[in-house]
Amino acid sequence: MAAATDESSANVLFEKLRSPWMDENRFAPEDTSICFRMKQDLCENNSELDNDIIHCTGFDPKNLSFILNSLSVLLMPDPEPNPFVDGPRQRANGMGKIVLRNYHSLTELPLDELAAIFPNISELVVYKCVNLNDISSLFSSFPNLRFLKLEGCHEIKSLDFLSHAPPHGLQLSVLEINDCGLVYCPSWERAIQVLAANLRYLLLVNLPKLTQLPAEIGNLQNLEYLCIHNTSIRHLPQEIGRLEGCAMTLVGDKMICPPIASRVSMKAMRTYFSRKRLRVFKGLVRLAILFGRSRRRAVERIYMPGGIGYKRCREHFLETSCEHARKE
């Protein structure tokens, strides 16, 4: 029964690829994408339906690999292709984006199967695959991936998957990690080294277990925007000051940062902290002056004529003098 369901699902997707769904005057091939998500999720998000996305609903996440294998058989090249009409294979090759939503039982993405059907994917969004913990072969399957968003994947705890980059490096320019179990570990250093060449946007959002950033983040010289929102990071590394042309959004209850929620430049951050240090220095100087005055007043009050200390010393001297006089 399950196999029949999987085969019918693959047939539905094949029919969508075969139909002239794309208006060439409105959408370019690189704008097209395919969205695998649960039927219930699709019903709850009717407002998100876009004309340039093929929505595939009702797929059993346990049998997603079987569906993709069945689809790959259906997408075999046509022995007599029509040069004037794009077939399903050509349309699959034109897909540029894949969205996987709410596949709770997936622990590993069927990347090889996806790459066999959609070889030219440049954007991947994985949403609420809560048990997903292994995407190590991501960049070997999609070497041209430029956009990666992981949201609600609570078992993604490190950036080790970036360490499996191909020898020629990564093309990734946008990396967004939102509401995952990410923690700091030594693999971050290797990940930053891999990302340094092309990364333009880095967004770290809703990561309560992330407590620090590596010093190597200063090597992301091409970074244009850095967003750190709602993490457990308190102090940013000093090396972040090397990101001269990078705009930043820094928001968090624990972070020592400018009280600005919108984008702020590195120059503005330096100005803010310079003024803050200057205010602290002025406060210390003022405190030193006040302390000196208080000390002088205390000395005058205690030891000068008329002071408490002077009176007590005089009384004690008089008492001892009288005692000596009586003894004599």
pLDDT in tens, 178-202: 999 999 888 788 888 888 888 999 9
What pLDDT is stored for residue 147 in this prediction? 94
Of 236, 178, 182, which Cα lies nearest the Cα of 209? 182
Flag whether pLDDT at 279 surpasses 70.
no
Q: How far is CA 102 from the centre of its chain?
A: 20
What pLDDT is stored for residue 84 in this prediction? 45
Tell me the two tokens of residue 270: 């330096």
Angle between helices 266-303 and 308-327 (to 10 degrees): 30
Tell me the two tokens of residue 232: 């457990």
List C-alpha distances in Å: 58 to 6, 38, 76, 221, 314: 10, 5, 24, 44, 99
Tell me the two tokens of residue 190: 């290797």
Comparing 86 with 99, the larger pLDDT belongs to 99
Average confidence score pLDDT of the chain: 75
Flag whether pLDDT at 310 surpasses 90.
no
pLDDT tens digits for range 123-141: 999 998 888 888 888 888 8
Percent of the chain with pLDDT over 90: 13
What pLDDT is stored for residue 27 in this prediction? 42
Helix ranges (DSSP H) in the chain = 2-18, 39-44, 64-74, 88-93, 111-117, 138-141, 187-195, 266-303, 308-327
Residue 199 DSSP one-character state: -
Flag whether pLDDT at 262 surpasses 60.
no
Dmax (CA) for the chain in angstroms is 138
Helix ranges (DSSP H) in 51-159 = 64-74, 88-93, 111-117, 138-141
Least confident of 55-69, 186-200, 201-215: 55-69
* 40-54, 63-77, 149-163 — most confident range: 149-163
What's the CA gap between 195 and 222, in Å, rounded?
A: 10
Flag whether pLDDT at 60 surpasses 50.
yes
